[in-house]
């Protein structure tokens, strides 16, 4: 701990690789299961679905992340289905005409892909057994929330419900619904409002990505805690390196937070 924390009222947690570890293998399997479930919508070729999904994921990152936007999964699903139905993707450096694609791929088909993905995500992602009890204890002292970059809010919300964490949380704020990703101040302002505590030093945000989870909330006067341990093969995107980041607390895992706050 680098500075005294004073009177905390709320704790905001990052989701991926903070509350829940995400090694690369299971995440890839989620896409494969989605492809199998949605093969009838995509020409019956699950392997082509997986390949196209990867291409469009990278295209979205290049288009949206530099602008501070989330690479929304509903956009990706529509582009993948359109490609597999014979629509020619744009050349490198050009953008899809997403408005036109809405006339090629029905909303119901996109919803089917998102439902399949969320179902596979929840089934394949284990619930860490010690997180729920920690949240229960902390909820007796603080307002708690999740503030996460994630391209499909539905998946995070269903996971939280299945894990049994909902009763401990005042808010689950996901970038897809906000329209901005961490470290953009907008997502933290929304989180403070939904948690119900004025943005500033009464809130501490806990996350694994210094560029997103330290730089962003610190700019609004929040306290910050950096979680250093995460899967080496995780494919979750991270913000640009932030050597200037100065967290108030450095933790090996999120489970060390209670002890650090007591100190």
% of the chain exceeding 70 in pLDDT: 98
pLDDT in tens, 52-69: 999 999 999 999 999 999
The residue whose two tokens read 């990706």 is 76
What is the rounded distance in angstroms from the CA atom of residue 207 to the CA atom of residue 204? 10
Helices 107-124 and 24-38: crossing angle in degrees, nearest 10, is 140
- Final residue in a domain of this structure, among 88, 123, 158: 123
How many residues are recorded in the chain? 263
Angstrom CA distances, 150 to 15, 179, 236, stand at 9, 11, 9
Model confidence band, residue 103 (pLDDT cutoffs 50, 70, 90):
confident
**Full DSSP string of 41-72:** GTTT-HHHHHHHHHHHHHHHHHHHGGGT----
User: What backbone torsions phi and psi does residue 44 show, to the nearest 5 degrees?
Assistant: 75, 20
Q: Is residue 2 part of a domain?
A: no
The pLDDT assigned to 198 comes to 95
The rounded percent of the chain whose pLDDT value lies above 90 is 89
Q: What is the mean pLDDT of residues 88-97?
A: 91
Q: Of 66, 90, 123, which residue is a domain's last?
A: 123
Instruction: For Cα atoms 163, 234, 91, give the angle at the middle one, nearest 5 degrees.
Output: 115
| Residue at 218 is within a domain | yes
Q: Which of 20-24, 29-33, 237-241 has the lowest mean pLDDT?
A: 237-241
How wide is the angle at C-alpha 118 spanned by C-alphas 89 and 210, nearest 5°? 80
73/132 same-domain check: no
- CATH code of the domain in which 208 resides: 3.40.50.1000
The Cα–Cα gap between 172 and 15 comes to 10
Mark whether 143 and 15 lie in a shared domain: yes
Band of pLDDT at residue 6, cut at 50, 70 and 90: low
Q: How confident is the model at residue 263 (pLDDT cuts 50, 70, 90)?
A: confident
Tell whether the model's pLDDT for residue 149 goes beyond 50. yes
Structural domain contains residue 1: no
Do 16 and 141 fall within a single domain?
yes
Inside any domain, residue 5: no
3 within some domain: no
Contact between 78 and 87 (Cβ < 8 Å): no
Question: 119 with 154, same domain?
Answer: no
In whole numbers, what is the pLDDT of the chain averaged over residues? 95
The pLDDT value given to residue 251: 98
Residue 11's closest CA among 141, 166, 204, 214?
204
Both 15 and 45 in a single domain? no
- State mean pLDDT over 192-207: 97
User: What residues make up the domain containing 186?
Assistant: 10-22+128-262
User: Does residue 88 sit in the same domain as residue 65?
Assistant: yes
Query: How many domains, in total, are found in the chain?
Result: 2
Residue 4 lies in a domain: no
pLDDT of residue 2: 46
* Same-domain status, 62 and 118: yes
pLDDT on residue 100? 87
**What is the rounded average pLDDT of the residues 75-79?**
97
pLDDT at 217 over 70: yes
Question: Could you tell me the pTM of the whole model?
Answer: 0.94
Q: Clarify whether residues 89 and 105 are in a common domain.
A: yes
- Same domain for 45 and 91, yes or no, is yes
Is 51 inside any structural domain? yes
What pLDDT sits at residue 46? 96
In this model, does residue 5 exceed pLDDT 70?
no
Q: Assign 4 a pLDDT band (cuts: 50, 70, 90).
A: low
Integer angstrom CA distances of residue 159 from 152, 166, 179, 241:
11, 10, 21, 29
Q: Which of 123, 153, 170 is the last residue of a domain?
A: 123
Do 169 and 246 lie in a common domain?
A: yes
Among residues 149, 80, 156, 166, which one has the least CA distance to residue 122?
Answer: 156
> Which of 145, 164, 245, 255 is CA-nearest to residue 205?
145
Question: Does 50 fall in a domain?
Answer: yes
- Does residue 55 sit in the same domain as residue 164? no
Do 174 and 229 sit in the same domain of this protein? yes
User: Is residue 133 classed as helix, strand or coil in its secondary structure?
Assistant: helix
């Amino acid at each position: 701990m680098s500075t005294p924390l004073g009177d905390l009222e709320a704790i905001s947690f990052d989701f991926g690789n903070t509350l829940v570890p995400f090694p690369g293998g299971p995440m890839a399997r989620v896409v494969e299961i989605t492809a199998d479930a949605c093969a009838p919508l995509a020409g019956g070729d699950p392997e082509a679905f997986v390949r196209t999904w990867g291409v469009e994921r990278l295209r979205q990152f290049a288009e949206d992340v530099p602008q501070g936007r989330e690479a929304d999964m509903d956009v990706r699903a529509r582009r993948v289905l359109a490609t597999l139905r014979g629509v020619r993707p744009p050349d490198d450096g050009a953008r899809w005409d997403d408005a036109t694609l809405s006339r090629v791929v029905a909303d119901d088909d996109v919803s089917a892909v998102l439902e399949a993905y969320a179902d596979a995500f929840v089934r394949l992602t284990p619930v860490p057994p010690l997180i729920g009890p920690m949240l229960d204890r902390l909820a007796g002292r603080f307002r708690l929330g999740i503030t996460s970059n994630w391209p499909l809010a539905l998946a995070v919300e269903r996971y939280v419900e299945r894990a049994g964490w909902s009763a401990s949380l005042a808010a689950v704020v996901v970038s897809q619904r906000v329209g901005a990703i961490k470290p953009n101040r907008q997502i933290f302002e929304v989180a403070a409002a939904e948690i119900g505590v004025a943005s500033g030093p009464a809130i501490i945000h806990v996350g694994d990505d210094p560029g997103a989870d330290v730089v962003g909330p610190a700019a609004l006067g929040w306290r910050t805690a950096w979680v250093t341990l995460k899967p080496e093969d995780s494919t979750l995107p991270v913000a640009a390196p932030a050597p200037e980041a100065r967290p108030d607390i450095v933790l090996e895992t999120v489970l060390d937070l209670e002890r650090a706050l007591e100190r």
